[in-house]
């Protein structure tokens, strides 16, 4: 079973998901997070950085896209250019 991530906010305001090991490495000698770092609940992390959970700013899932090969990308680009050129004379 995978360990549950820990959510932290860094001094610049970025919200990240870290492993227990990474979290422990962040801690000061007295067991506290460094100045301007904070630990977040999952709900607070989701509000602050929905993309971390695969969601857009409205809380909707971000559609996944399959990687496209260079050949396929080139073919799609040539097709788009042809369509644009065909529409130029109209």
Element (H, E) at 87: helix 70-88
pLDDT at 89 > cutoff 60: no
Higher pLDDT among residues 24 and 61, named by residue? 24
58: pLDDT confidence band, cut at 50, 70 and 90? confident
| pLDDT (0 to 100) of residue 66 | 73
Listed in sequence order, the residues at least 6 apart from 49 whose beta carbon sits closer than 8 Å to its beta carbon are 14, 15, 16
- Map residue 58 onto helix, strand or coil: coil
pLDDT (tens digit per residue) in 38-54: 999 999 999 999 999 98
Q: Indicate the average pLDDT of the chain.
A: 89
Q: Which residues contact 15 (CB under 8 A, 6 or more apart)?
A: 7, 8, 9, 40, 45, 48, 49, 52
């Amino acid at each position: 079973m995978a360990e549950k991530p820990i959510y932290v906010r860094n001094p610049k305001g970025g919200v990240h998901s870290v492993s227990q090991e990474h979290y422990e490495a962040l801690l000061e000698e007295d067991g506290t997070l460094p100045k301007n770092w904070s630990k977040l609940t999952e709900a607070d992390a989701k509000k602050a950085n929905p993309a971390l959970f695969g969601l857009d700013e409205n809380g909707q899932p971000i559609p996944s896209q399959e990687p496209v090969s260079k050949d396929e990308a080139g073919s799609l680009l040539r097709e788009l250019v042809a369509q644009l050129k065909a529409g130029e004379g109209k």
